[in-house]
C-alpha cells in the first residue's frame, strides 16, 4: 500500500512523523513536530536501521511489511537505544523472531534493560564490516553523542552514513523526505535548538565523532530525526561543527527576568545601546515567557550573553536560576558575559550572576549594573555603557 521513498538503490525510508507530542523528552516544545527516521535496506539480506517511538509502531511495522514484500527481516541495526528509536524493537522481534540484532556491548546492556532481549544478538566493534549482498556496511562507535552506546553505520556501496541522532533536527517531514525536495527554512534554527537542548553538553564527543567520520565519503546523510541530507550535507556538518566547538556567531542574547518592569527597563536600555553601537543580531528573551529551549538555542548560536534579574527571597529570580542551571549543565564555553540586576531592599542577584560567570569561566564585559528599585539617570547611563562595552568587544 505504501509508496515508500527509495533514498538510494534499494534503501527505503520507513520512518514516521510525530505531530502529536507537545514536548520532546517531556521537556522541549515541538511546534513543527519531529520525525523518527528508520531505513530499510532490501538486498540479499534485509536490514533495518533503527526503529521508532512505540506510539507509532503500528504504522511503522506496516511500512516494513510492505517494503519487504513477503520476505523476512534478517537484521536490525541499533545505532541508538534511546526509546524514541528503540521503542518498537520488542514488537519487531515478535513479528520477526529470527531477526539478528546488531549492536555493541553497551547496546546489548540497554536492550536487556529496556526490553529484556538477550538472544539473537550480533555484537560489532569499531570498524567491523558486514556484507549483505550488494551493500557493504561498516560500524563506528560514537560514544556520548549523546548516549554511551551510540554508533553509526556506513554503507560503503552507496556512501550513506546512518548517523543516529548526530545531524538531527526537530521538525517533522511534511511530505518530502530528501532535503532537495523541500523548503528547509525552519529546519536550520530547529537544528540548533535540537542540538542545544539534546546534545549540547557533549561538544567534545561530537568533535571526536566528526574527526573520525571526516575520512568517509558521504553522499547521503541519514539521521534519526529530520530530512535525509544530500545537497546540504556541508551546511549541516558546519552547524554541528560550530555548535560542538561552542563557536558563537556575532550577536547578543539578552535574557532577563522582571516582575514589575523595572529590570526590564535595564534590559531595554542595554539593547538600545547595543543597536546604537552597531550590533544587528540582538535577541531578547523574557525568561518568564520564552521557553528555556529557545533561550538555550540562542545562547549556543551567539557569542555574547547578557543576563539580568531582580533579587527574589535573597536569591536569584527563580526562573533565571533555573536557566543558569541548564546552561551550566551544558558546559557552554567561550561566551562574552554581561550582567545586571535589581533589588528592592537588599541585593543578591548581581553577586550571584557574578559567581555564575566565574564558574562558567566566561569573559566579563563592561561594568555590571545593580539598581535599587526604579531606574534612575545614573543607572540608565550605566546600562547604556554596558551595552556600548559589549558592542565594542564583539
The contact set with ligand FEO (CB under 6 A) reads 80, 82, 84-85, 146, 165, 224-225
Instruction: Select 187 or 317, whichever has its Cβ closest to ligand FEO.
Output: 187
> To the nearest whole angstrom, how small is the minimum distance from the Cβ of residue 86 to ligand FEO?
9
Count H helices and E strands in the chain, helices first: 12, 23
Cell of 172: 517533522
Q: Rounded distance, CA 371 to CA 339, Å?
A: 12
Q: Closest by alpha carbon to 64, among 75, 357, 55?
A: 75
Torsions phi, psi of 138, nearest 5? -140, 160
**SS3 state at 273:** helix
CA distances from 371 to 168, 288, 323, 356 (A): 43, 20, 22, 19
Going by DSSP bridges, is the β-strand pair 28-29/11-13 parallel, antiparallel, or unpaired?
unpaired
Q: Given the complex with ligand FEO, which of 45 and 80 has the nearer CB atom?
A: 80
Which CB, 63 or 146, lies closer to ligand FEO?
146
How many whole angstroms separate alpha carbon 12 and alpha carbon 64?
A: 9
* Cβ–Cβ < 8 Å for 98, 120: yes
150 or 305: CB nearest ligand FEO: 150
Task: Look at residues 382, 383, 326, 379 and name the one whose alpha carbon lies nearest to residue 356.
Answer: 326
Shortest approach of ligand FEO to residue 12 CB, angstroms?
Answer: 20
- Neighbour count for residue 342 (Cβ, 10 Å): 30
Q: What is the DSSP letter of 201?
A: G
Residue closer to ligand FEO (CB basis): 25 or 126: 25
Task: Note whether 123 and 77 are within 8 A (CB).
Answer: no
CB nearer ligand FEO, residue 84 or residue 319: 84
Q: How far apart are CB 84 and ligand FEO at their closest, in Å?
A: 4
Cβ at position 82, least distance to ligand FEO in Å: 3
In angstroms, give the least distance from the CB of 85 to ligand FEO: 6
Nearest CB to ligand FEO, comparing residues 46 and 107: 107
> Least separation, in Å, of the C-beta of 381 and ligand FEO?
48
- Output the smallest distance, CB 36 to ligand FEO, in A: 7
Amino acid at each position: 500500500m505504501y509508496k515508500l521513498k527509495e533514498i538510494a538503490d534499494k534503501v527505503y525510508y520507513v520512518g514516521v512523523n510525530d505531530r502529536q507530542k507537545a514536548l520532546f523528552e517531556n521537556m522541549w516544545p515541538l511546534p513543527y513536530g519531529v520525525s523518527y527516521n528508520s531505513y530499510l535496506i532490501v538486498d540479499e539480506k534485509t536490514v533495518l536501521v533503527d526503529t521508532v517511538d512505540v506510539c507509532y509502531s503500528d504504522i511503522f511495522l506496516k511500512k516494513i511489511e510492505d517494503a519487504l514484500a513477503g520476505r523476512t527481516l534478517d537484521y536490525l541495526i541499533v545505532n541508538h537505544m534511546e526509546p524514541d528509536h528503540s521503542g518498537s524493537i520488542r514488537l519487531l522481534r515478535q513479528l520477526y523472531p529470527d531477526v539478528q540484532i546488531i549492536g555493541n556491548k553497551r547496546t546489548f546492556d540497554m536492550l536487556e534493560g529496556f526490553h529484556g532481549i538477550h538472544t539473537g544478538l550480533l555484537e560489532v566493534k569499531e570498524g567491523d564490516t558486514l556484507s549483505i549482498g550488494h551493500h557493504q556496511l561498516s560500524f563506528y562507535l560514537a560514544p556520548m553523542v549523546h548516549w554511551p552506546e551510540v554508533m553509526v553505520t556506513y554503507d560503503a556501496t552507496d556512501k550513506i552514513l546512518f548517523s543516529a541522532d548526530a545531524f538531527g533536527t526537530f521538525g517533522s517531514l511534511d511530505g518530502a523526505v530528501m532535503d532537495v525536495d523541500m523548503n528547509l527554512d525552519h529546519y536550520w534554527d530547529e537544528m540548533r535548538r535540537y542540538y542545544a537542548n539534546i546534545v549540547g553538553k557533549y561538544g567534545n564527543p561530537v568533535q571526536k565523532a566528526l574527526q573520525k567520520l571526516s575520512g568517509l565519503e558521504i553522499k547521503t546523510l541519514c539521521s534519526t530525526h529530520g530530512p535525509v541530507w544530500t545537497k546540504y550535507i556541508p551546511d549541516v556538518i558546519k552547524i554541528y561543527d560550530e555548535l560542538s566547538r561552542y563557536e558563537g556567531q556575532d550577536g547578543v542574547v539578552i535574557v532577563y527576568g522582571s516582575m514589575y518592569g523595572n529590570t526590564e527597563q535595564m534590559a531595554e536600555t542595554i539593547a538600545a545601546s547595543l543597536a546604537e553601537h552597531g550590533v544587528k543580531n540582538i535577541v531578547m528573551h523574557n525568561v518568564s515567557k520564552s521557553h528555556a529551549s529557545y533561550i538555550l538555542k540562542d545562547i549556543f548560536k551567539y557569542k555574547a550573553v547578557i543576563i539580568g534579574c531582580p533579587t527574589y527571597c535573597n536569591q536569584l529570580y527563580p526562573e533565571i536560576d533555573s536557566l543558569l542551571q541548564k546552561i551550566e549543565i551544558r558546559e557552554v564555553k567561550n561566551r562574552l558575559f554581561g550582567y545586571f540586576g535589581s533589588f528592592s531592599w537588599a541585593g543578591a542577584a548581581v553577586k550571584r550572576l557574578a559567581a555564575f560567570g566565574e564558574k562558567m569561566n566566561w569573559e566579563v564585559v563592561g561594568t555590571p549594573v545593580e539598581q535599587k528599585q526604579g531606574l534612575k539617570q545614573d543607572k540608565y547611563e550605566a546600562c547604556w555603557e554596558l551595552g556600548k562595552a559589549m558592542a565594542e568587544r564583539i
